[in-house]
A and B are shown apart, each in its own frame.
Chain A
Amino acid sequence: MKLLTSAIAIAASLYGAQAFAWEATEGRPFEGQTVQVLAVKSSQFEAHEARLAEFEEATGIDVVYDYVPFPNMKEALTTEMVAGGDYDVVSVMDQWVVSLQMLLTPIGEEMEAQGTDLSDFPAAHMRHGMLDGELIGLPVRGHVQLLFYRTDLLEAAGVAPPETWEEMVTVAQAVQDSSDAAGIVLPYGKLSGQNMMVWMNLLWGNGGDLFDAEGNPIFNSPEGAAATETYIGYLTDEIVPAGSAVFVEQDAVNSFKQGNSAMLPVWWWVRSQLTDPEQSTLTADQVGFTALPYVDGADRTTFTNTWIFGVTEESDVKGAATEFLGWLTDPALERDVLLDPELDEVVAVHMSNLTDPEVNERWGGMHQAAADALATAEGIDFGDNWPRVSEILETAISSLASGEQTDVQAVLDQAAEDIVAIR
């Protein structure tokens, strides 16, 4: 039996939004308990924290957030996994889930009792909350890639935003012919596998993949080599800034924000930075977006990034922690943040919000574009060797981009060999 709390009902009516589906457990069985949350630093999670009063009043549970910057997050989670006991709820990025699996406890039954609708999460995000058939976490933050572009520069060049990667080259060259900006900016440098994220789309678009059904590397296939030749070719075609060879994602974003590049394929959450007057030289009118280009004749693809929230194995307050997760993953909370005029927060992981007319009206259809991309996005199975695999692949791409190595097939073959040799 659940009780719809008055506090939440009032909050919902104040915002004129859908009523919260989540309901506090009757009798406040966890009253007086404290849930410690370890979260990566993000404005979205800060927005959740700002709304905690509703949850705390309804349940009597105290929630305390600790934030860690992204570059240190994996080390913080590793420490928690080995030493244990400090946190009850943690945010974990998809690529780390398998290697940090001992940190998390199954929560399937508890979330069912909370009334959480798992079917509302896109499959590409939801798969990272499952391990060996068990639910160990729920998506709270999820990203798709979009192509951001300079509306003024493309208009001046007389070109429309590209639909395919082939068109992208033509558009980039046209922009370069009519302005000082580079056609497109891409990150080829090494940092957490960021240089693979556009490459993966080319790989999929060319009909290739990372591994076959048995887990053997197949990215060094003719399709993989063609995708890599294309990706590295953007450097030799000089449609990217020269510095791209060593740019990481933030460098690429900075290049776009400083007006040095006309197109930027990147996660959608970056949107708020691109027109923030404190960070960017661009105005809202100058920045447009469209779905990520696809390889001509192939399906539309997007690399996805998902942050799940799970309950730690060592937690002493698992009941309170799952109650908190129920509240945190309520689509109404996400919608409330998306529509808050004081915030500039675009991230959503519920299909009901991605396709919500009011949300799309506020964000210019960005969420519907994301929903369309997610409809065909499969995501990747990140095995427990993924950190090593990712390092090998990003090093291979970095070597080719920097000119340290030039034989694409030989580099991919060596990378495949190194992956097979992982102990």
Chain B
Amino acid sequence: MVGHTVDANQDNGARAGARSDGARTLRTVAGIVLLAGVYGLAAFFSLRLALIEENITPLWPPTGIAVAALLLFGTRWWPGIAIGALVVNLPITESLLAAVATAAGNTLAPMFAVWILRRARFRTELDRPRDVVVLLLAALIGMLVSATIGALALVLSDQVAAGEFWTSWSVWWAGDSMGVLVVAPFLLVVWNRAHHRYPPPRRLELLELFVFLAMLAAVSVFAVTAKASILFVALPFVGWASWRFEQSGAASAALLVSSAATWAAVGDRGPFQGADLVDRMITLQGFNATVAFTAFFLAALVSERARSREALERGAADLEARVQRRTTELSEANQRLAAQIAERREAESRLRRSERQLAEAHEVARIGAWEWDLASGEVTWSEEMFRIHGAEPGAFPVTFDKAMEFIAEADRPRIRRTTETALQQRKDVPDVEYRIELPDGRARHLHARSRFSLAEDGTPLRMFGIVQDVTERHEFEREHRIADTLQRSLLPASFPEMDGILIAARYLPAERGLAAGGDWYDVIALGGGRVALVIGDVAGHGLDAASLMGQLRTAVRAYALEGHAPAVVAERTDALMQEVAEDQMATLLFVALDVEARSATIVSAGHPPPITIGARGSRLLDVRLAPPLGFAPRTRFRESTASLETGDTLLLYTDGLIDRPDLAIDEGLRRVLSAAEANRDADPEELCDRVLSAMVSGDASDDIAMLALCLTPAVPGDLRLRIPAEPGALSQMRRRLARWLDAAGVPADVRGDVVLASSEAAANSIRHAYGPSKAWVELEAGVADDEVHVVVRDRGRWRAPRGRGGRGLSVIEACMHIVEIDRGAGGTEVRMRRPVRARVVR
């Protein structure tokens, strides 16, 4: 109760300090008054235990209250003690002077004790043994003041006989000391408990404490009421309380036991029965001091041990964490080291492998290495260098002049000049190509690159380099060039112009190997609305294949133009081939197409089937297959027929498109079909490009020829345009619309009106309908029932026509017969109609 009341005051006082000195003073005064009240009340009850006169009691709690209050709230609260003491002493003291003196003693003693405690750096938590010892000393020494002054005042005021001075003094001193030793710690513990200066209590701990204290109370009552002197039986319980509940247990138990003992002593009960005053005092004080000291000392010991155990545990946990961290670091470092070792081992083995590979590569690539020491004139050749020059390794000593002798006479001055210039100018030699003549008279082409190594002053020390035998490549390139040129010159440069068809063709020569030559295509106008598509592939490559291809192309063209049926053309060409090129073979696909009738007659000599692409999907045409030309004498070729539709495209190709080293033929066909299907709306030119790029990535490994023919509609279909909503796009839109109207047979004057109206509508969309973001205008035009209809559409709204901005609309209405403007939520649509024949009435 006491602690709580003071607590509230202290708390508010501390907070008020920041506000104003006035409030602070007010609170201090209030605290002083409160302290005086509490002190007085405690003193009033304590005096009932008085042993000498009415003034001296064996247990004087007010001093304990005073010491605790001064410790917790500061010594400026002393007036509370002084007032309380004076009020208590006045009625029980003979003279005013004696009462004042006693009160002064009662005030000074706690002040002195607190001064000692502060000097000794006392902690109110009482959790160190030294705090308990200090408190004991401060209580005993401090209370000398009050005992001396109080006893003197009693004697001088004749309340007590002079002979009783020491008795009075000892009882006073012991009572005050016990008040400090028993009550002050209890108050401090209660205060600190309330302010969480101790670890929070466990859930059952408080209950356990109360049960325990009740037990202790019973034991104490038993001990002090028993006839025998068995006060000591309470001691184990006090020890237990201190060990179990530390400061809280010690304070409660000490107060309880001391109170019980004091009550017994005062009431002349139990063990104190019959003893004289001094004996009772000595026994009681000794007992109380022992109980208080033992209890708090034990509690402080337990606290200290708990703290040191915690510190030890924290230290151990910290150490454990550090060990773990260090272990992890070490194992990581170990792993890195292992990885580095493995890496280095790998690098070494790669190096050995690459050295071996270099030697092998030199041999395979026919690369020779040489070195020329400029100071000594000594020349060193690698083994492969000798072999390239048609000699066994080390067959002769090499010198610069000896090396020059190998070089063909025509090239020798050039090489000598290049080398000398490089030596003079001290710069790297450019790559050169030259021919050498071998002892057996054969010639070889060499490609050489060389470098200098220079001394520090820039003088050339060594010249070194490699030569590569590129004879094969030279010969091959020459033939490849000729074959390619021949091939291209034999392919048609242009196609016959016919209404209702669009034709495109591609020829892609192989990039590597002796592949050029052999593939061809041709388009022949047969007359009567008929056209022949021809594609073929002569087996083999190079010049022979290219020249045979030329002959076959001419033959097919000649037989076709003579008017022979496709099967006859194939049979005659086959027969011719048996004649001119006995052991060669060629494939041939011949398609005779009736453009008007949309029908095709097809003959295939071992050639992959054509593909049709159109509204019905993309598929391979079913064609009767005969052996290739030149396979066997008198082969019979049979025709197949196919009917096509407007918009269909026929795609002919050679096997280079589908037959690749990395692909099965079936898979190749499947891919061509899906590429064609994906581009079914493309025109023949686009179709060829897209199929080629879908099938060929990088270099072609074989020649590829393609021929595509599209059966276009006689009348153009509806026009659909989409232009960016920008003024600059209008003229392009007008041109395309005019061209389409022309193709649709719309006469010039109507055409002009329709173009003008459409352009006005689109301009309106561009001008009025759009914000800053990218936008489009769509135009659709069609002709039906001798009437042109045009729709211009955007994704915005037209603003209401303002001023002369409406002139565009009046132009539209003047040009077209029917105009509907639909301003919907999604955009504006202008629908216009105009008869093809009749003139607008103006």
- Co-complex (A, B): no
